[in-house]
Amino acid sequence: MEDRQPLAPQVRFYPPAPGLRDLVTAYYFVDVPPGRQLDHLHPEWANIRFVVEGAWKWRMSDDAPWFSTPAGLWGPTDRTGTIVTDGGLVVGFGLTPLGWSRLIGVSAEPHANAAIDLGEVWGPAAAEMLSSLLETADDVARVAALDARLGPRAQAAAIVDPAVGRAAGTLLTGDIRSIDAFARQVGVSTRTLDRLCRRVFGFAPKRLLRRQRFLRTLERIGGRADLPLGAVLDEGYADQAHFNREFRAFMGMTPSAYYRLPRNVLRRAAESRLAVIGQPLQGLYGAPGQA
């Protein structure tokens, strides 16, 4: 009898409608065949996720309770999270910091590294969006349903302080090394910057700069653990030992332990995101050089 390999997870990405691309990083469909899959998320901006098929659970640390909901809002993160499923389909999308301001409209800091039922902030609109996804049978129709519901919501949202866009752009340039330089680039005082970052990005400026530095290096490494790290480390790291400490702080394990993991879902997500969106990591969406 022929030996058949188990089906691999599929992660499919689609860009949102042009008018939503400053707010939504991408739509994604995580389609996992029957069989247990566990993977580790990278630090990233906020996400909204809908469980279309199967049972899915998430948690942000080994001692945290598992979280599961049909329609959920995940705040911005500065550490790894764990996802586990026995198979099924999740439809989700990432929110840029501007998207958080326009589409969520509450302070991000209380939601950092946490998840809640989307209905707590969107009310009945959360269940309505989930229903529209359940009523459609293919990716094209679901993308259209997401565009149709998010477009009017974005148009009705309040205008956001232009400093939010300047701060997001500054974070993505990768050449800011101090809080003072960050504030000057945004055109605000360091105190105002601190309040803005906590409200919109979920974290204090120093933590954000550390997180973005880590993500830039993670992007350069890609899926290869055999690269000489000295050649790809961000200039903000003193040496490889410094990066190793930061890797453990953000991912909860050493680089070698992480790259020994199968990463069946996240590895495919990075490949698909890069091919479709031009950026393998959601937390670097909009960075210079993105296709």
Q: Which amino acid does the sequence have at 1?
A: M
- What CA–CA distance (Å, rounded) separates 205 from 182? 8
- What CA–CA distance (Å, rounded) separates 247 from 260? 14
pLDDT at 43: 97
Element (H, E) at 162: helix 162-173
Residue recorded with tokens 């906590």:
198
**DSSP 3-state assignment of 224?**
coil
pLDDT at 93: 98
Q: What is the pLDDT of residues 162-190, one digit of tens each?
A: 999 999 999 998 778 899 999 999 999 99
Query: Is 82 in contact with 8 (CB distance < 8 Å)?
Result: no
When computed from its CA atoms, the radius of gyration of the chain, rounded to whole angstroms, is 19
Q: Which amino acid does the sequence have at 83?
A: I
Q: What is the pLDDT of residues 36-65, one digit of tens each?
A: 999 999 999 999 999 999 999 999 988 889
Q: What is the pLDDT of residues 102-117, one digit of tens each?
A: 999 999 999 999 999 9
- In the chain, which stretches have pLDDT less than 70? 1-6, 223-228, 287-291
